[in-house]
Amino acid sequence: MAHLGVADLTDLAHAAYGRSLRQVARLHGGSKKGVYRLTLDDGTTGIAYVWRASEDYWPEHEPDPLFGNASGRDLFLTAHTALSEAGMSVPRLVLVDRDTVVVEDLGGEFLEKLLDTEALERLWDDLEAMHGRQSPRYGRPGALQPAEAPPVPDVILERALAHLEACCERVPRIAAERERLENQLRQRHSVIEPRTSYGLIHGELGPDHVLVSGGRPVLIDIEGVMFFDVEWEHAFLELRFGRHHRPAENLDPARMNLYRLAQYLSLVEGPLRLLDGDFPHRDAMREIADQNIERVLVC
CATH number of the domain within which 155 lies:
3.90.1200.10
User: pLDDT tens across 141-191, in order?
Assistant: 989 999 999 999 999 999 999 999 999 999 999 999 999 999 999 999 999
Q: What is the mean pLDDT of residues 46-57?
A: 89
The span from the CA of 25 to the CA of 16, in Å, is: 17
Residue 261 lies inside a defined structural domain of this protein: yes
The span from the CA of 118 to the CA of 215, in Å, is: 7
CA distances from 46 to 25, 158, 211 (A): 11, 41, 15
Decide if pLDDT at 62 tops 70.
no
The span from the CA of 200 to the CA of 202, in Å, is: 7
> What is the reported pLDDT for 60?
67
Residues 131 and 234: beta-carbon distance below 8 Å: no
Range of the domain at 73: 6-297
Burial 61-73 (b: 16+ CB within 10 A, else e): eeeeebbeebbeb
Tally the domains of the chain: 1
Give the whole-number percent of the chain exceeding pLDDT 70. 95
> What is the reported pLDDT for 142?
85
Largest CA distance in the chain: 62
Name the percent of the chain in helix, strand, coil, to the closest 5: 45, 15, 35
> What is the reported pLDDT for 239?
96
Q: What is the mean pLDDT of residues 83-100?
A: 96
> What is the reported pLDDT for 128?
96
The span from the CA of 155 to the CA of 68, in Å, is: 13
User: pLDDT tens across 245-282, in order?
Assistant: 999 999 999 999 999 999 999 999 999 998 888 787 79
User: pLDDT tens across 195-240, in order?
Assistant: 999 999 999 999 999 999 999 999 999 999 999 999 999 999 999 9
Residue 215 lies inside a defined structural domain of this protein: yes
Average pLDDT, the chain: 93
Residue 1 lies inside a defined structural domain of this protein: no
Decide if pLDDT at 192 tops 90.
yes
Lowest-confidence pick of 28-32, 50-54, 276-280, 294-298: 28-32
> What is the reported pLDDT for 61?
59
Region label for 83, one of left (φ > 0), alpha (ψ between -120 and 50) or beta (otherwise): alpha
User: pLDDT tens across 66-88, in order?
Assistant: 786 667 899 999 999 999 999 99
With CA atoms as reference, report the closest residue to 60 among 273, 211, 262, 236.
273
> What is the reported pLDDT for 68?
66
Q: What is the mean pLDDT of residues 114-123?
A: 94
Decide if pLDDT at 65 tops 70.
no
Q: Where do the DSSP E strands lie in 72-192?
A: 93-96, 100-104, 134-135, 139-140, 143-144
Global pTM exceeds 0.85: yes
